[in-house]
Structure 1
Amino acid sequence: MPTSPSSSETTERVDVIVVGGGNAGFSAAHAARQRGRSVVVLEKGAKDMSGGNSYYTAGATRFNHNGLDDIRDFIEPDERIAVTEVPPYSPEEYAADLAKVTGGKNDPDLTEVIVRESQDTVRWLNSLGLKYRLMYERQAYERADGTYLFWGGLHVGNVGGGEGLMADHTRVAGELGVEVRYGVNVTGLVTDGDTVTGVTYTTADGAAGQLNADSVVLAAGGFETNPELREEYLGQGWANAKVRGTPYNDGSMLAAALELGAQRGGDWSTCHSVQWDAFTPQNESNRELTNRLTRGGYPLGIIVNKAGKRFCDEGSDFRNYTYAKLGREILKQEGSVAWQVFDATKRPMLRSEEYDMPGISVETADTIEELAGKIGVDKEALAATIREFNASIDLSIPWDPTIKDGRVAHVEPPKSNWADPLEQGPFYAFAVTCGITFTFGGLKADTYGRVLNAAGEPIPGLLVCGEMLGGLFSENYPGGSGLAAGMVFGRRAGSIA
């Protein structure tokens, strides 16, 4: 809640406060500190629970580049690079991908910034000490001749994934002289007239305090951990979704800014949601397994519900253009559960980090009928679904997972690419549910993160970045653009804070 400064309470003062210690928040902190500003990051999680959603990611970062030679100088050495093809990914392609997956609802000004500045921002972070590599295990397949082809516009990620990303950010912050305070719950925004002048907070031991600053940068995420807000804004049934990342993004900072008069930005009715392990114990906010609970191999097989029926096009596009919307499709199914089904020919192609996870929800059988019995699906229904699927494929078209091969299963719904008969046992069924990552609705801001009020004017002293910045995403999301947006707009906010 907005409050006025207390005349009876002694308060601290710094130049810049950053609320939230994820990728976006640290990017803002680094940029502000490089300008000589004194910076304090207030992180709600204790040190062993810090890092926001960024900690739980694979570290994949989407940015513009001109191919392998353009990025070779800042990626880690790998013996496979000599036989690797990395297609260029232009700003125009990046913008087209954002428009495609969001149905044209992406903010044009924010889009222009991210597609033009993303590589430069990655290079800036690399110059500070963040390490990047080619993501062979996620974004490339080995071809028959032993070469590798990257696909889907997403090629590079952090060394060590999200854990490595946040370890690097934290180390860099220390080297720059950014102060990070853990276990601090920001409870409100302090104002003087229309200007934001600081925050109130409580610490883990219950002490209350106030910290004043010239600028407050909000980087505290959306409302995905709040079941009531999910039901209110995303719709009925969303309380059943599993929280993939940090348990702290409850929307309280969004509420504080809105109460102050901030304008809503972006699509508050949709979110980033994926196929997530359905039955493994502790399948929410799991800091040991993090992103390994994702199930991204579905383009290689089919997805069926409890009735044994397919309900989506598993091959409509490369995984990183479809994975963030399929969680909500599973949420609509009976029990909010479905199964990814593969045969023995495709099982070895599934990413080990996800499909060889300890305690994974999987059943295996030598026949489809036996498999159906193990997962509680009608045997005849599942067998009929797979017979129809197998018979509808034009086998004259070569199957090739490195391109959109046009090998269609002519059923309803179709599988538009990578259709291949499920014929060779043993067969595998991986149980999946809806895992929510972050909500797309946030605050309206200009391209430097200055939060706008209802009249479209900046609220003095208040900036926003990361998942709290609304406008880039709606309905769907191109993989790797969240971390890119966090660092690009975090850097911009820090450059003026």
Structure 2
Amino acid sequence: MPPATPHPTHPAPGAAAGAPGERADVVVVGAGNAGFCAAHAAAERGRRVILLERAAEAEAGGNSYYTAGATRIVHAGLDELREFVVPDARHPLTTVPAYTAEDFGADMAKVTEGRNDKAMTEVLVAESQDTVRWLVSLGLAYRLMYERQAYRRPDGTYLFWGGLHLGNVGGGQGLLADHTRVARRLGVDIRYGHGVTGLRTENGRVTGVTCTRPDGTRGTLAADSVVLASGGFEASAELRERHLGPGWARAKVRGTPENTGELLIAALELGAAKGGDWSTCHSVQWDAFLPENESNRELTNRLTRQSYPLGVIVNREGRRFLDEGADFRNYTYAKYGREILRQPGSVAWQIFDAALRPMLRTEEYDMPGISVVTADTPGELADAAGIDRAAFEDTLAAFNASIDRSVPFDATVKDGRRAAVHPPKSNWAAPLETPPYYAYAVTCGITFTFGGLKGDLDGRVLDGQGRPIPGLFACGEALGGLFSGNYPGGSGLTAGMVFGRRAGRAA
């Protein structure tokens, strides 16, 4: 289908909503990855699309802006990926294992402990690559994520691991810049600073939205369909405490401060059913003490600390409390934030020595202002970090002594190099014995909530009896059902693309 052109009755881009009689075929709420995909798909069908974004243009993009752009898709290996990723001189030196539909489906079931919606998962998996190819055809750019998903081996070659190989050129910022450019070319009317405050209805059908304009005045906008791509409720401390449980008000908001859940509540009040798991979320290890450690648009994803499988993690009492090497980080990082939240003071420390330090992700562990202390002995490190010295020294000594050193260390595979302590470290157990030592302070950073609205496979929002609410769609983090307790890294952006496209085609 050729690119759509702006409809002749469109108001000028950026116009304020609420002019008498103003309407659109489709109103999309939220200018993140999912919202843009819905807008693109609707505009390609010739629909008149208005995309409303609560944040000002300089603060827009939702959580998508803060991501690294990692996108999980089914593929047959490097030869197939090279058909639609940007060229890279390292490709001839690179091995990318195939990632099959069976792999993706199994990973979804494994990390959610079977609580994922099976039908939604089948669609996610089946359409993952095709949706990325569609976005590439529109003008988005993807690459292999060498710096995050591969290690350079001693022979100079690269091996990708963990099923997650693809990312946007320019990360989240590049993703949003590409989406914005495509939307404008397709004639989507993007209106920043327009906060949707409610849903208009008539005879049981959603017929538009109410909103506030950039100048603070109120307006209305009529539409045949409204697509909610307005995120979850992770930026509301009150809703976190209510649904995730006590203590979650202390979590640091990694991404946009705009996802406060009002439209989820508005849809529920219309009779929409809840979808997915409202009691869990995506939460990671996050820089604990940087003063600007929430919604930081300059550092964005650099505040994460994701090389933890190489070292050990201890709390203020000097004790380990989780298996750092249970699996590749792609399958554990989104649940370990909540484990940090449960520790004394909701803080812990990732510990490495000089032998491991060169393997840490440069973008994260060389971040300006990073919360780190260094010392020449474990005891001095504990004193400097405020960790119980005696307990930490005992923990480290027991860990080092328990490692099965007959198994070679290999960070590119689950090497089975185990530390037989409690809790165990199942892979990548390396002795911490080469000074200087490093302690990186981490807390819980919340990314997005897993609970949303219940929808059908095209994002039509369903009521408590399983019937579609006419005119109302949801996608992205507003659509629940795929994730519970944990998620495979990179599947959130993929879900936004797949179900955003579906909603835009159906709206």
**Equivalent residue of 2:82, what SS?**
helix
The answer to whether the aligner puts 1:355 opposite 2:365 as a matched pair is yes
State the partner residue of 2:98.
88
Q: 1:238 aligns with which of 222, 225, 248?
A: 248
State the partner residue of 1:72.
82
Contact kept? 1:11, 1:210, Cα under 8 Å: no
The answer to whether the aligner puts 1:487 opposite 2:497 as a matched pair is yes
State the partner residue of 1:43.
53
Q: 1:17 aligns with which of 19, 27, 38?
A: 27
State the partner residue of 1:3.
none
1:321-344 deviations in whole A, cap 9, x for unaligned? Answer: 000000000000000000000000
State the partner residue of 1:30.
40
Q: 2:449 aligns with which of 423, 436, 439?
A: 439
Q: What is the deviation of 1:380?
A: 1.3
State the partner residue of 2:335.
325
**Equivalent residue of 1:14, what SS?**
strand
Q: What is the deviation of 1:77?
A: 1.1
**Equivalent residue of 2:301, what SS?**
helix
1:399-450 deviations in whole A, cap 9, x for unaligned? Answer: 0000000011000000000001000000000000000000000000011000
State the partner residue of 1:288.
298
The answer to whether the aligner puts 1:340 opposite 2:350 as a matched pair is yes
- Output the CA distance in 1 between the equivalents of 2:433 and 2:371: 22
> What amino acid maps onto 1:19 in structure 2?
V
- Output the CA distance in 2 between the equivalents of 1:10 and 1:75: 46
State the partner residue of 2:9.
none
Contact kept? 1:129, 1:168, Cα under 8 Å: yes
- Output the CA distance in 1 between the equivalents of 2:388 and 2:505: 59
Q: 2:321 aligns with which of 307, 311, 315?
A: 311
> What amino acid maps onto 1:194 in structure 2?
G
> What amino acid maps onto 2:292 in structure 1?
Q
**Equivalent residue of 1:209, what SS?**
strand
State the partner residue of 1:5.
none
- Output the CA distance in 2 between the equivalents of 1:454 and 1:429: 49
**Equivalent residue of 1:55, what SS?**
helix
Where does the alignment leave 5 or more consecutive residues of structure 2 unmatched?
1-17
State the partner residue of 1:299.
309
Identity of aligned residues (%): 70
Q: TM-score, normalised by structure 2?
A: 0.96
Contact kept? 1:278, 1:431, Cα under 8 Å: yes
State the partner residue of 1:453.
463
The answer to whether the aligner puts 1:367 opposite 2:374 as a matched pair is no
State the partner residue of 2:4.
none
- Output the CA distance in 1 between the equivalents of 2:178 and 2:44: 16
Q: 2:64 aligns with which of 54, 62, 66?
A: 54
Q: What is the deviation of 1:170?
A: 0.4
**Equivalent residue of 1:74, what SS?**
coil
- Output the CA distance in 2 between the equivalents of 1:458 and 1:408: 51
- Output the CA distance in 1 between the equivalents of 2:213 and 2:370: 37
Alignment of 1:130-141 (within 5 A): 130-141=140-151
- Output the CA distance in 2 between the equivalents of 1:172 and 1:202: 26
- Output the CA distance in 2 between the equivalents of 1:11 and 1:425: 71
Q: What is the deviation of 1:204?
A: 2.1
Q: What is the deviation of 1:144?
A: 1.3
1:16-69 deviations in whole A, cap 9, x for unaligned? Answer: 000000000000000000000010000011000000000000000000000011
The runs of 4+ residues in structure 1 deviating greater than 2 Å are 8-11
Where does the alignment leave 5 or more consecutive residues of structure 1 unmatched?
1-7
**Equivalent residue of 2:411, what SS?**
coil
- Output the CA distance in 1 between the equivalents of 2:282 and 2:372: 24
